[in-house]
Amino acid sequence: MLIPGLKKIVNQRLKKQSELMAITNMLRVVLDSNIYISSIGFGGNPKKVVSLGIKGEFQIVLSEFIISEVTRVCIKKLKLKSSELDFFFNELLLVADLVTPSTEITTTTNDGDNIVLATAIDGHADYIVTGDKAHLIPIQKYQTVKIVTLDKFMQFLK
């Protein structure tokens, strides 16, 4: 479930998806929920990579599922209020390409990771950046999407 008030922004972004894809040849990247959670909770390289995406160094590809997962974990584990996440998501949604994945993927045993893969495929992403060493990192590549750790992606950007 989305934070109240974000649904309107989400719907606006969905309408602009094909328009955005037509005007940009930029590197397209899905940041897994664990990257956003670490960015919010701990800073460091996760915060740097999110900032680079917001600044336009690459195109962030995002889905409602990732937003919901980040919200759920930040509220439950980091004890944040949804209102404390509003600014973060509002800023992110101004630049992200928001996709609604429809591709059915059953590659991993984790449904959430399958949705992240579907987000990347349907969002025409070049990379998934993740800290998920149990399910996603071992795949390394799914169709045309490279799956890398944050450290490898940061090295690539240098």
Query: What angle, 0 to 180 degrees and rounded to 10, lies between the N-to-C axes of helices 44-54 and 33-42?
Result: 110
- 129: domain CATH number is 3.40.50.1010
pLDDT of residue 18: 46
Question: In this structure, which amino acid lies at residue 128?
Answer: I
pLDDT of residue 25: 76
Containing structural domain, residue 78: 26-157
In-domain check, residue 1: no
In-domain check, residue 15: no
pLDDT per 10-residue tile (average), the chain, 158 residues: 61 54 76 98 97 96 97 96 92 95 96 97 98 96 98 94
In-domain check, residue 90: yes
When divided into structural domains, the chain yields a total of 1
In-domain check, residue 91: yes
Contact, 64 vs 9, CB < 8 A? no
What single string gives the DSSP state of each residue in 86-97?
HHHHHHHHHH-E
